[in-house]
Amino acid sequence: MFTLRAARVSARLPRPALRSFSSSRICSGRAIVYSENGDPSTVLEAVTYPNLFSPPPPSSAHIRFLLSPINPADVNVVEGVYPSKPTKTGALTTQGKGSEGQPVFVGGNEGLGQVVALGEGVKEDTLKVGDWVVVTKQQSGTWMSERHIPVADVARVPNAEKLTEAQAATLTVNPPTAYNMLHDFVDLKQGDWVIQNGANSAIAAAKGINTINLVRNRDNIGELKSSLEKLGATHVLTYDELADKSVREKIKGWTQGKDIRLGLNCVGGKETTLMARYLGKNAHLVSYGAMSKQPLSLPTSLFIFKNLTAHGFWQSEWYKTRSAADRDTLMKTLVEYIVEKKLDTPEIEVVKVGKDRTDAQASEAVTGVFKGLAEGKYGKKVLLNLE
């Protein structure tokens, strides 16, 4: 029954108002779990837990996951090298590996679910059965067919009927990171300039903020530049171009001498040192990634004489430290951007693990995905759908 109903949602048909019902009708769930850190393609396994779901506890929701993204950071979490660690859950235990009954980790940080049932004390204006929610508490474990989760750890997707499942499922990490970095550090006005080496320029463009976007040189650089410009980039420069001294005058011409007051960095290393030199006085450099795996290395003179401030940004921390109202406002804003087509949906590939598969087959499918990811076989973002 639920499968049917969810399928209807997936097909973007209007969702019927769901009746409240006894959650005892759903009794089993499948999860992608691991009991020890390691290579995801080795340590992950799919396990079906029968008779798992009693009615949700007070202030919690029973949600059914529709799509659960696999982000690069998720791999690091499974490996045990990410600073944010999940906790093992006693309700889910190892199965059939000779160490039955030990609590396990459930993988996944980001996920879109639909509310199936609500525990006591959840007000209807907070959450209703049938609502779409995204998980905002980090490392909650989203690679699961369904689970109980405290209402405080999810955000309702506003105007969900206007979004695809993939748009909603990828709403919690990348779009808010791009949005908040543009808003939390510098009070940018229309016509101001940002320099960046990775972030989305669509939100900036939607707000009339200009971006200079840095990319590595490559064969099809002309093509890449036009595609980035189509996505909202005001200008695109390669690091080679940036290293040429004449570019300073060019940039001055673009900005009409206006100081660039915000730099967004997900690369690090010497390319970011170079980028930082183009920031103006009193600028802020915000790092949210380190794709080069090199430290952020900046001349002290930039801090002292140009009053540079360097920050980090972590969307998970944002969710943790901000109020539920802030979170809802953010979601509403981002959904509006998507609806107005000011924000692109990432290219995605859904990996569906059907309920007809055995746990062994499901395990094989999922570990295969991680093997493929490690080999760079997926150009697109992969989303799991565990039936």
- Nearest residue (CB) to a copy of itself, 304 versus 325: 304
Q: Which of 18, 206, 298, 324 binds a copy of itself (CB under 8 A)?
A: 298
Calculate the alpha carbon distances from 145 to 23, 63, 116, 174 in Å: 14, 9, 12, 23
Q: Which of 314, 328, 333, 378 is in the footprint of a copy of itself by CB under 8 A?
A: 314
Residue 350 is a binding residue for a copy of itself (CB under 8 A): no
Applying CB under 8 A, which of residues 1, 301, 325, 376 lies at the interface with a copy of itself?
Answer: 301
Sign of CA dihedral 54, 136, 71, 3: positive
Q: Which is nearer to a copy of itself, 80 or 295 (CB)?
A: 295
Residues in contact with a copy of itself, counted by CB under 8 A, come to a total of 30
Binding flag, residue 349, a copy of itself (CB under 8 A): no
> What is the nearest approach in angstroms of a copy of itself to the Cβ of residue 297?
4
* Contact criterion met (CB below 8 Å) for 208 and 234: no
Catalytic residue among 34, 49, 82, 288: 82
Q: What is d(CA 176, CA 330) in angstroms, rounded to the nearest whole number?
A: 7
How many residues would you count in the chain? 387
Residues 84-103 that bind a copy of itself (CB under 8 A): 84
User: Of 287, 363, 367, 385, which one interacts with a copy of itself (CB under 8 A)?
Assistant: 287
- Candidates 138-146, 156-164, 205-213, 286-294 — which segment interacts with a copy of itself by CB under 8 A? 286-294
Site residues for a copy of itself, 198-257, by CB under 8 A, read none
Q: Does 290 bind a copy of itself (CB under 8 A)?
A: yes
The contact mask relative to a copy of itself for 129-168 (x = CB under 8 A, - = no) is: ----------------------------------------
Kindly state the smallest distance separating residue 100's Cβ from a copy of itself, in Å.
Answer: 35
At 282, which amino acid appears?
A: N
Query: Alpha-carbon dihedral of residues 323, 325, 328, 332, nearest 10 degrees?
Result: -130
List the one residue from 57, 58, 295, 354 that touches a copy of itself (CB under 8 A).
Answer: 295
Q: Who's near 212: CB < 8 A, 6+ residues apart?
A: 193, 194, 195, 196, 234, 235, 236, 237, 251, 254, 260, 278
- 133 neighbors 158 (Cβ within 8 angstroms): no
Identify whether the C-beta of residue 316 lies closer than 8 Å to the C-beta of residue 295: no
| 120 versus 317: smaller Cβ distance to a copy of itself | 317
- To a copy of itself, the closest distance from the beta carbon of 368 in angstroms equals 30
Beta carbon of residue 307, minimum distance to a copy of itself (angstroms, whole number): 6
Binding flag, residue 310, a copy of itself (CB under 8 A): yes
Tokens representing 157?
């997707």
User: Smallest distance from the beta carbon of 86 to a copy of itself, in angstroms?
Assistant: 15
Alpha-carbon distance 247 to 235, whole Å? 12
Q: Which residue in 95, 273, 333, 345 binds a copy of itself (CB under 8 A)?
A: 273
Classify burial at 333, counting beta carbons within 10 Å of its beta carbon; exposed 0-12, middle 13-18, buried 19 or more. Answer: middle
Structure tokens at 292: 């080069």
Euclidean distance between CA atoms 172 and 376, whole angstroms: 24
The answer to the question of residue 34 lying near a copy of itself (CB under 8 A) is no
Q: Is 317 in the site for a copy of itself (CB under 8 A)?
A: yes
**288 part of the interface to a copy of itself, by CB under 8 A:** yes
Strands 309-312 and 29-34: unpaired
34 noted as active-site residue: no
CA–CA dist 137, 155 (Å, integer): 9
Nearest-approach distance from CB 281 to a copy of itself, in angstroms: 9
- The three-state secondary structure class of 60 is strand
What are the residue numbers of the active site? 82
Residues that bind a copy of itself (CB under 8 A): 83-84, 265, 268, 273, 287-290, 295-314, 317
